[in-house]
Structure 1
């Protein structure tokens, strides 16, 4: 009888723990990939800014507004290390954002988070696992977990269309 109770208690504890962990799990980043590098670069150039990575941007689809660096830092202070001084034109139609980054923007989304990472296949090259740079990037990305209740997109610009410099 004691063995049965011990097993039942153990199973119940494990089940409750796994439910608790699942409830606290941070939703993963959704992939976003422009058709090619030129598409991504042109999006930023057409909106008076530059394609910079790594960087995080915040977009308000309800008002079709790309937040300035200052506004984003004020509203999303945990993201400050990844917010770059890159004040893009603020009024950008949601269809332009969705088409450029090949994403679906939920009609009810208050904000979306766009993290622009290194070019396709370059994350491990530019930020080798275990390197101080990768550790710093990982910590900065973890700080964005506090905004996981918003749709979050990891933008990976493709190598296609990159012009050698």
Structure 2
């Protein structure tokens, strides 16, 4: 009888640890989803400004290209327009580079999140039912984000 109670007590202690891990994991997933919602909201707000900025740089670079190569100008004006041309090309490339770094880091974070979920599933921290519930909610949220990005 004593051994049976000891086994029950030990399994209860193990379950408490798993329950605590599941609780912490649930909190992490909720925090992650809140971060993704904030990213989606700020992306929605900044998208139009970045589009206007990108189109403005593109039009200005096109206009300066026509001025430099198609119009006969004095060398003084040509140097000034050339410096403005180089500055705007540099600013546009910095804008594109930084936006691509943000996208790359977001994709890397999503991959590490998937690896973490698979690892926790392999370690039996997540039960099958809870894992698929989290995974279904996670993919439902991601599909919602993707559809919002393409619809806007």
Give yes or no for TM over 0.5: no
CA radius of gyration, larger in: 2
Q: TM-score, with normalisation over the residues of structure 1?
A: 0.27
Q: Structure with the greater relative contact order (CA < 8 A, sep ≥ 6): 1 or 2?
A: 1
Which one has the bigger strand percentage? Answer: 1
**TM-score (norm. length: structure 2):** 0.28
